[in-house]
Amino acid sequence: MGELKYEISQEAYMKLVLHALKHKIAAVNGVLVGRVSPQNDDVVEISDSVPLFHSHLTLLPNLEIALIMIEEHYAAQGLGIVGYFHANERFDDLELGNVAKNIGDHICRYFPQSPILLLDNKKLEALPKAKDRSPVMQFYVRDASKNWKLVGSDGNSRLTIKEPSANILLLDHISSEKWLEVVDFDDHLDDVSKDWLNPELFK
């Protein structure tokens, strides 16, 4: 495979952003679920996202349990883990830190060309004014020496949102405080009746 492009569905995209907004004063993370497109093997279709944690991001046993459950659930649909999402604790922090890099490396065991999406709060804040249709996140990939590199937003972006109106809809969900309904694995481990698949979130 050459240089892959990634296309994220509206719901997968909005769920991760809302997860970060629910825990504004904590670092949060999640995984991207999808597959290489049957029509074009240079495109990875990200069809869903799974919010993982908002505390104890570095606890490997919890991460392993979550990844196994995610893989088992989605395998029946022909899908797998294809990427990682991270939002830093501080609003003004746009650095890809060691925790994100280490978990990103771990996710690459599932899909070697997994990217890391890092929430960009400046882009998120500018959404109402900018009417921007591009994702509110930075896109990182591993280079040949397995170091994480930021891919520039020079118009040849490797990450696009499948539905062009996703950011407009995202603003509606932000104004209605939709993030309060997002369930992640931390919530599920505290109370197993809470469904980490979030089946009713956008119903």
Does residue 200 fall inside a structural domain?
no
Does residue 58 fall inside a structural domain?
yes
Does residue 87 fall inside a structural domain?
yes
- pLDDT computed for residue 156 by the predictor: 56
Region 177-203 average pLDDT? 94
- pLDDT computed for residue 78 by the predictor: 96
Domain span at 134: 5-190
Does residue 199 fall inside a structural domain?
no
In order, the DSSP letters of 132-174 are: --S-SEEEEEE-TTS-EEEEP-SS--SEEESSTTHHHHHHHHH
pLDDT tens digits for 24-71? 889 999 999 999 999 999 999 999 999 999 987 778 888 999 999 999
User: End-to-end alpha-carbon separation of the chain, Å?
Assistant: 36
Region 99-124 average pLDDT? 93
Quote the number of domains for the chain: 1
Does residue 198 fall inside a structural domain?
no
- pLDDT computed for residue 127 by the predictor: 82
CA-CA distance, 71 to 9, in Å (whole number)? 19
- pLDDT computed for residue 122 by the predictor: 85
CATH of the domain at 100: 3.40.140.10
Helix (H, G, I), strand (E, B) or coil at 36: strand
Region 188-201 average pLDDT? 95
CA-CA distance, 32 to 118, in Å (whole number)? 12
Does residue 29 fall inside a structural domain?
yes
Does residue 146 fall inside a structural domain?
yes
Determine how many CB atoms are found less than 10 A away from the CB of residue 27: 21
- pLDDT computed for residue 154 by the predictor: 52
Does residue 12 fall inside a structural domain?
yes
Region 83-93 average pLDDT? 91
pLDDT tens digits for 147-164? 999 987 554 579 999 998
CA-CA distance, 184 to 51, in Å (whole number)? 5
CA-CA distance, 108 to 17, in Å (whole number)? 22
CA-CA distance, 80 to 172, in Å (whole number)? 30
Each as own residue / partner, the long-range contacts of residues 196-203 (CB below 8 Å, 24 or more positions apart, any chain) are 196/50, 196/51, 196/66, 196/69, 197/50, 197/73, 198/15, 198/51, 201/11, 201/15, 201/18, 202/11, 202/14
Residue 89: pLDDT over 80: yes
Residue with tokens 């240079």: 42
Residue 72: pLDDT over 70: yes
